[in-house]
A and B are shown apart, each in its own frame.
Chain A
């Protein structure tokens, strides 16, 4: 069975501080990992996918197969980064199912 674990329900940092949102997964096979973000009163949207290895809004995430992790990082948090962040997993054995973690609510304080 596939599973995504986000250990922190809530995370609070100050503006300008580094931020790391943790994501660990369990999957037998080659996983496809994503980070989705939901800003207040806005729709869920894709932030990053591991396959593209890009930086979006200053966020990066590296897939570490040895540690089965896909942590989301940003060196200098901004107030507009405050949102709910979901790590999600898919893979060849799961068809088109996206399995989401429980989410981390990030608050960036001024």
Chain B
């Protein structure tokens, strides 16, 4: 299985801050990396697919980058509604696997 490592596991930032979350794959996965946002008590929602493509309807303050084994999710200006846990997920090789999550809180 491809192991996905996210960091940090949690972070606290102020409204308006730039927030960066990283995801590292245990082996090469090209650009086959997606990002999800999960708010408390809700199902996850895809934000970014294929490493850098913004899903329809997702605010442009979210962006993704990377390829190979190292990937980044950036929130350019943190908003109160962005409080959630963020997960990366690879689909280069089955089984599909997720990172452990990054919990984002407001300072």
Say whether A and B bind each other. no
